[in-house]
Amino acid sequence: MYADPPFNTGTPKRSRAGAFNDRFDCTAAYVAWLRERLEATLPALAPAANILLHIDWRTSHRVRVLLDDVLGESCFVNHLVWKYGLGGSSPRRFARKHDDILFYTLDPRRYWFEPPRVPATSNRMKGLDKKATDVIDIPAINNMAAERLGYPTQKPLALMELLVGACCPPGGLVFDPCCGSGTTLEAALRLGRRAAGSDISPAAVRLTLKRLQRVPGP
């Protein structure tokens, strides 16, 4: 399961492609909202399922404590950092240029993982690849990118392909309960995985269905 839930930014997200509430009374209210949905979803997952929650600096510290509580500290695998270049800067703080992806599993003894390979950057390994680290350097989608569909929180297909390929076995099922524009589901289908998703926004569901109809078959 991969989920990119609201980040508790304090601002509702709206576009022609979909909308959702991103305002909670406080961080505790957000964590309670997320806990309720996690506890309702976990029983539907496979016994050794992997769980990736995509969040940011506003709540990552509290969500990790939540996952330790709900799943158990032994189920923690990685705290991934998605590093990107877009975003504003401020004269009063370091520029915020990353999101957090918390990687947990339901069974730390037998979860599936295939280390992804990325291009090496050193001169010694020029032209070769290496195992990816817990810092994922993939550009965010700019406003002129061909893959942009107009959804306010759309993530790059390259990012989702890396995560799906690493954390779901071939033929396995990828579930995204906040599927938005459908990037996770497209990545799953392109990599030979099965895909299931849901979203609170009817517009997002329509966008996802239209998008998946264009994905090439195996």
Whether the Cβ atoms of residue 32 and residue 61 lie closer than 8 Å to each other: no
**Which strand (E) or helix (H) includes residue 101?**
strand 98-105
Q: Which two tokens stand for residue 173?
A: 């099922």
pLDDT (tens digit, 0 to 9) for every residue of the chain, 218 residues total?
999 998 888 776 666 556 667 788 899 999 999 999 999 999 999 999 999 999 999 999 999 999 999 999 999 999 999 999 877 788 899 999 999 999 999 999 999 999 999 988 888 888 899 999 999 999 999 888 999 998 888 999 999 999 999 999 999 999 999 999 999 999 999 999 999 999 999 999 999 999 999 998 66
Whether the Cβ atoms of residue 85 and residue 97 lie closer than 8 Å to each other: yes
Instruction: Supply the pLDDT for residue 85.
Output: 81
**Cα–Cα distance between 173 and 194 in angstroms, integer?**
5
**Which residues contact residue 205 at a Cβ distance below 8 angstroms, ignoring those fewer than 6 apart?**
179, 198, 199
Instruction: Supply the pLDDT for residue 22.
Output: 76
Query: Domain-by-domain residue ranges, the chain?
Result: 2-151
Please give the CATH topology (third level) of the domain spanning 2-151. Answer: Rossmann fold (3.40.50)
